[in-house]
Amino acid sequence: MKAVTYGPFPGGWPTSFASDFSQMIAAGFNAIRLYEMPDLRLLDAASHHGLQVFGGLKWGQHVDFLNHPTHFSAAKISLATALKLTAQHPALAGVYVGNEIPTDMVRWMGPAKVLQAIEELITLGRELAPSLMFAYANYPSTEYLEPSNADFTAFNVYLENEDTFQSYLKRLHHIAGDRPVVISEFGMDSQRNGLEKQAEVLAWGMQAAMDLETAGMTIYAWSDRWWNGGAEVLDWDFGLHQRDGFAKPALPAVQERPLARAISATDLISVIVCTRNGKARIGACLAALGRMTDPKYEVIVADDGSLDGTAEYVLEKFPSVRLLRLEPAGLGVARNAGAAAAKGEILAFTDDDCEPDHEWISRIRPIFKEGIYQAACGPNLPPKPRSWQEAVVCAAPGAPSHVMLDDREAEHLPGCNLVVTKAAFLAVGGFDPQFHTAGDDVDFCWRLRDAGFKLGFVPGAFVWHWRRPSLLAFLRQQGGYGKAERLLIEKHPKHFSPAGETRWQGFVYGGGPIRVTAESIIYHGSMGDAGYQGIVNRMLPLRDLEPRYATPFATLCLTMIRLLQPLLRAWTRNHRLVLPPRSSSKTITEPPSEDFRMPLEVGKTREDLLTHFLKDGWQPADVHASWDLENGSDRVLIAIEMGELGRATALLRFWGKPPETYRLMARKGLFETAILSSSIVSLE
């Protein structure tokens, strides 16, 4: 998706969209993003020109909409009214239900409650218009506000350094979990940085979005003409066109669609598929491998003594595949046999229940050209489940997962999507034959790292990986994993706790987007002002239950599986039950003593309030605290509601008794009134 933001404009929509939309198509755009819901006139014009439209729900998201629920109710009504008129229009592709709810307001209302409200809007939208895509336009200051039910992860990112921008794109793939990443805003102010700099930044931004495997890029904005907060914005110029309509150098800079990096396919990649009695599964795997866009590869099937006719099936249906008939000896032996027969200098391992994406090889190849990593993988994603049992298994813990040390380097690569140079493979002696069904990839990756090799991650190099088709098959698999862990404990005791739990240094991928819960610890920075605010955790969220199978019975089964899975693994690993450790995190639960709501003087900001408190002896709170300042046992949180024409209202929440001086802060010139009311509810 190559999109550009459009409007809102002073004076409203133009009388005709033909000129703008024709220029957009000529510039290579295929979508536009709005900040309000479109009318039929705009959608008809977009359809005529071949543009897809992403509407934006306009509502009171910059105020305390939870304590003043009329704002949130109005949002639901507005969404329902708009979708009733436009949901079936072919030009409408999706809806952003919100855009950059300010971090101080999120802290004021409570992050988990705000996320719940966003998810509620998406649920409503999907019920009314199931054919549309829904998302929330997030930004780095509230990374944790990722709705679990969005169709894609959308982030507004403004970074003027190319390396920094690329690094953050790599991070976004992990925040997103399984789903695709869209940059929902990216731009540069030409008023402050100059026309040529704007063109330069937009050009490399478009290329980075392509190279780093986002699903779409949205340029901000089509025009310098911009209407916000009840007034025309004149102090910045982010548009591709000036206010008089003339194009800037940035327009031709983004005109050509960026191309994927040209990587010469000189090294042969040997794809090795190990199977045992996999006749019913391997056909889809080999058919997918036959659709690779990269021309320089071979496929080897290592048949570990199958008795169901797998070898004969492969020979008949896939004559170009090299088949190795082996005596049954286990997964580790089969993978080593495939590697020994491989002609390539890069070995790519996958399983017979996987279907690699058609760009799997071409996406994984560039990381080896860098010379930094000697092994790499991408995600293994479960396809849409075909039954309620498959849906429960997809959302259960214990699936093959990668483990990340940071946004690029991995600690563990699962064997269903594991690519390694032959040199590194031989240097560590390949896979350990004692691992017959599982655990071989964990042992292999630990030995690679012990030998000084680095493991990388490529988010676009994914395989579809079918999970077990029934709960019983899943539990059998988890029992096998426990037995494999028993072997791993004997060989790598330093990687396990006394209770037998694996000691990962990095983050275990769970498939779900990173999102806040009531128990989450969030890095807010000093006084809640950090530009990048994320969750402090060691386990990424699990996938949610597929909505169409989310019945009460399936939900109950998932709850039971999530309780039973670690106990079963512990029993088969240790022959004793080990209960998961309880969380030791402590949070302050006492209610605040008073909330204050008061209009700010024009031109005053939250920073002015913080400075006033600091001068009076208050201290910044811990960077993970949900309040801003402390003074002994007293605490205060400050947020600002933004209104039309720059009008702002300060919200102050005190824990402890508010000093009398803060009832009289109006005398300092901070507030419009000299008497402050301590009841937000009564002022409503």
Q: What is the mean pLDDT of the segment spanning 195-224?
A: 96
What pLDDT, on a 0 to 100 scale, did the predictor assign at position 41?
Answer: 97
Residue 681 has pLDDT above 50, yes or no: no
Reported as a single tens digit per residue, the pLDDT across 269-302 is 999 999 999 999 999 999 999 999 999 999 999 9
Q: In Å, how far are 189, 192, 228, 238 from 235, measured between CA atoms?
A: 9, 9, 12, 10
Distance in angstroms (rounded) separating the CA atoms of residues 658 and 665: 12
Reported as a single tens digit per residue, the pLDDT across 492-540 is 999 998 888 899 998 889 899 999 988 888 999 999 999 999 887 656 7
Query: Is residue 375 a contact partner of residue 448, using CB atoms and an 8 Å limit?
Result: yes
What pLDDT, on a 0 to 100 scale, did the predictor assign at position 260?
Answer: 64
- Radius of gyration, CA atoms only, the chain: 28
125 — pLDDT class (breaks 50, 70, 90): very high
What pLDDT, on a 0 to 100 scale, did the predictor assign at position 345?
Answer: 95
What pLDDT, on a 0 to 100 scale, did the predictor assign at position 131?
Answer: 95
Which stretches of 212-262 are DSSP H helices? Answer: 250-253
- Residue 602 tokens, joined: 């024009």
Peptide bond into 8 cis (omega under 30): yes
Distance in angstroms (rounded) separating the CA atoms of residues 94 and 8: 18
Query: Is residue 394 a contact partner of residue 474, using CB atoms and an 8 Å limit?
Result: no
What pLDDT, on a 0 to 100 scale, did the predictor assign at position 667?
Answer: 47
Question: Which has the minimum average pLDDT: 49-58, 83-92, 598-607, 662-671?
Answer: 662-671
Residue 644 has pLDDT above 80, yes or no: no
Query: Is residue 532 a contact partner of residue 141, using CB atoms and an 8 Å limit?
Result: yes
Query: Is residue 600 a contact partner of residue 671, using CB atoms and an 8 Å limit?
Result: yes
Higher-confidence position of 394 and 590: 394
Residue 598 has pLDDT above 90, yes or no: no
The DSSP code sequence of 527-578 is GG--SS--EE-SBPPBPPPPGGG--HHHHHHHHHHHHHHHHHHHHHHHSS--
Residue 662 has pLDDT above 60, yes or no: no
Distance in angstroms (rounded) separating the CA atoms of residues 187 and 224: 12
What pLDDT, on a 0 to 100 scale, did the predictor assign at position 404?
Answer: 92
Residue whose structure tokens are 């999530």: 562
579 — pLDDT class (breaks 50, 70, 90): low
What pLDDT, on a 0 to 100 scale, did the predictor assign at position 478?
Answer: 94
Reported as a single tens digit per residue, the pLDDT across 140-176 is 999 999 999 999 999 999 999 999 999 999 999 999 9
Residue 402 has pLDDT above 70, yes or no: yes
Mean pLDDT of the chain: 90
Report the SS3 class of residue 654.
strand
Which stretches of 27-161 are DSSP H helices? Answer: 40-49, 70-86, 103-109, 111-128
Portion of the chain with pLDDT greater than 70, in percent: 92
What pLDDT, on a 0 to 100 scale, did the predictor assign at position 397?
Answer: 93
| Domains of the chain (ranges, CATH numbers) | 2-253 (3.20.20.80), 269-511+545-574 (3.90.550.10), 594-683 (no CATH)
- Burial degree of 242 (CB within 10 A; 0-12, 13-18, 19+): middle
Q: What is the mean pLDDT of the segment spanning 426-446?
A: 95
597 — pLDDT class (breaks 50, 70, 90): confident
683 — pLDDT class (breaks 50, 70, 90): very low
What pLDDT, on a 0 to 100 scale, did the predictor assign at position 261?
Answer: 65
Q: In Å, how far are 65, 82, 137, 256, 477 from 145, measured between CA atoms?
A: 16, 25, 10, 33, 34
Q: What is the 3-class SS of 260-275, one letter each residue?
A: CCCCCCCCCEEEEEEE
Higher-confidence position of 200 and 634: 200
